[in-house]
Amino acid sequence: MEIRLEARKLAEVDSDALVIVGFEGAPPEIAAADQTAAQIKELYDSGEFSGKALEIAILHRPAGLTAKRLVLAGGGKPDKFDTAELRKVTGAVVRSLKSKGIRTITLALDEAWRSDDFAAAAVEGAVLGDAENDRYKTDPKKNEKQVDAFAVLGGSQSALDRGRILAEAQNFSRGLANEPANVLTPTLLAERAKQMAAEFGLECEVLDQDRMRQLGMGALVGVAQGSAEPPALVVIRYKPANTPASQDHLGLIGKGVTFDTGGISIKPAEGMEKMRYDMAGGAAVLGAMRAIAQIKPSIPVTALVPTVENMPGSKAQRPGDIVTSLSGKTVEVLNTDAEGRLILIDALTYAKRLGCTHLVDAATLTGAIVVALGNVNVGAFTNNEAFLNKLLAAAKAEGEKTWQMPMDEEYKELLKSNFADLHNIGGRSGGSITAAWFIRDFVDETPWIHLDIAGTAWLDDAKPYMAKGPTGVGLRTFVRLAESW
C-alpha cells in the first residue's frame, strides 16, 4: 500500500473514498460543500450515524466534492480522542473499505488534529489494519480486494514516514509471531533476525548451543534440552552515528519460545496451538530494532532474544532438576512450564556483560497477568521507579496501555528453595509478581523493567481495526523510549 501526503483542498481531493472523522454530539463542518454538509446533518438527525467510536457511514457521489465517496468515521467523544483512537479509526476504515473493493483512501484530518503525531498515527492504523494473517491460505481470491494507496491531508511527510516505519516494523513482528512452529524454529528465527539486521544495517551475532554451554548459560540451555531443535541467543546492536552525550545503553530482551508444550509439566491440549506466539516478546524486540535502525535515536540499543523450543523429549528437564545460571546462581526447577523466566535470566545477565545500563524485558510470561489485567493492559514491574516512569510515558504516547504491578518484598519469600538459591515458581498466589521477582533477582541494581504481555500479545477475535492473531504489542513503546531518551 502506497502512503502519501495529500496537499490539495478538501473539495479537490480525487480519491475513491474521502474520510473525515465525526464525533458524538455534532456533525463535522464541511465548508467546501454545503449540500454534503446537509446530508451529514441528516445522518446525525436520523441516528444513522452518531459519531460513536469506529462507526462508519458512506455517502456516495457527495455534492461539491471530487471524491467518489465521503466516509464518516466515528471518533467517539472529542475530549477523549487521541492518537491511539485515531490509529483504531484508520485501521477500521481501511479494513471496512478494503472489503468493499475500494482501492484509494484519503483521510482529511480536522484542523484541531493536524499535527505530526496524529498524521503518523493515522498511517500506523492504516498499515496495521491492512495486514492479514492469511499467508498460508491457498484461496486464489484472497488478494483480489486490496487498498492501493492511503493518503493523509494534514501533517508532514516526515510524520507519514515515521508512521509507516513503525507500522511496517509492527507487522514484521506480527508476522513472526504468527508463523507456525514447524516453520519458525529457533534456528530459523535467528536466521530471520540476521536477515533483518543485514537489511537495515545492524550488527548481529548468534550464540549457538555450544557457545552458551561454554559461557555457563545453564538455565537457558536446560529449557531447550527436551527438543531436537537447538537453542540460540540472538544479539543485535544499534550504535548511533554520533557519540552519545551519556553512557546510557538500553538493553531490550524478548522471550523467544517458538513453541511451548510446557515440557514435562505439560500444558492442557486445549489452546496449546496458540503457543507458537510464546515468542511474541522476542518478535516485538526484533521489530523494534528494525524501526530503531531507521529512526536513529541517540542512545545505543542492544537487543537480545533467547530462543528455544520447550518440548517433553527423552532428555527434557525434569521437575526437581537444579540448574546453574550464567550469573552463578542456582535454580530448582519445580515446574518446567515456567520456562520463559529461565531463558530470560541468562539473557539479562549477558546483556549486563555487554554493557547495557538499563534493561527492559518483554515476555508472554504468565497466565496470572491475564487474570489480573485481562486483555487490556500490559503488566509492568520494576526495581527503578524513575526508569519505569520513562517507559510509562512512552507507552502512553504510543497508546499501549501499561499498568504498574506491585513488587513488595514479601512476594520474594515465596521463591525460597531448600536445595538451591531459589526455585522457579512461587505458587498460584501472585503468580505474575513472583515471576517478576524471580527475574529481578538476577539483575541486581541495574535499572530494569519487566513487561508481562501474555494478555495483550494475541487477539482471540478480530477487531474492526486489526486481524485476529498477534498484535506486536510493546514495539512502539520500545521505539519511543529509545527515541525520547
pLDDT at residue 463 above 70? yes
pLDDT at residue 453 above 90? yes
Dihedral over Cα of 30, 36, 38, 43: its sign: negative
CATH architecture of 166-483: 3-Layer(aba) Sandwich (3.40)
Q: What pLDDT score does 246 carry?
A: 85
Burial class (CB within 10 angstroms; exposed 0-12, middle 13-18, buried 19+) of 404: middle
**Region 176-203 average pLDDT:** 98
Domain ranges of the chain: 2-153, 166-483
Pairing of strands 402-404, 301-310: unpaired
C-alpha 238/C-alpha 314 separation (Å) is 40
pLDDT at residue 110 above 90? no
pLDDT at residue 39 above 90? no
For 217, the grid coordinates are 548459560
Q: What pLDDT score does 31 carry?
A: 57
* β-bridge partners, 372: none
Sequence-separated (6 or more) residues with CB below 8 Å from residue 361: 252, 253, 254, 255, 281, 344, 347, 348, 439, 448, 449, 450, 451
User: Residue 175 — pLDDT band, cuts 50, 70, 90?
Assistant: very high
**Region 424-428 average pLDDT:** 92
For 74, the grid coordinates are 466515528
pTM value is 0.96
- Kindly list the catalytic residues: 267, 341
**Region 163-175 average pLDDT:** 98
User: Residue 35 — pLDDT band, cuts 50, 70, 90?
Assistant: confident
User: Residue 245 — pLDDT band, cuts 50, 70, 90?
Assistant: confident
**Region 81-106 average pLDDT:** 97
pLDDT at residue 426 above 70? yes
**Region 115-136 average pLDDT:** 96
- Is residue 147 within 8 A of residue 105, CB to CB? The reply is yes
pLDDT at residue 32 above 60? no
**Region 162-189 average pLDDT:** 98
**Region 200-229 average pLDDT:** 98
C-alpha 37/C-alpha 67 separation (Å) is 15
Pairing of strands 469-470, 458-459: antiparallel
C-alpha 305/C-alpha 255 separation (Å) is 6
**Region 178-199 average pLDDT:** 98
CATH architecture of 2-153: 3-Layer(aba) Sandwich (3.40)
User: Per residue in 389-417, pLDDT tens?
Assistant: 999 999 999 999 999 999 999 999 999 99
User: Residue 145 — pLDDT band, cuts 50, 70, 90?
Assistant: confident
pLDDT at residue 114 above 90? no
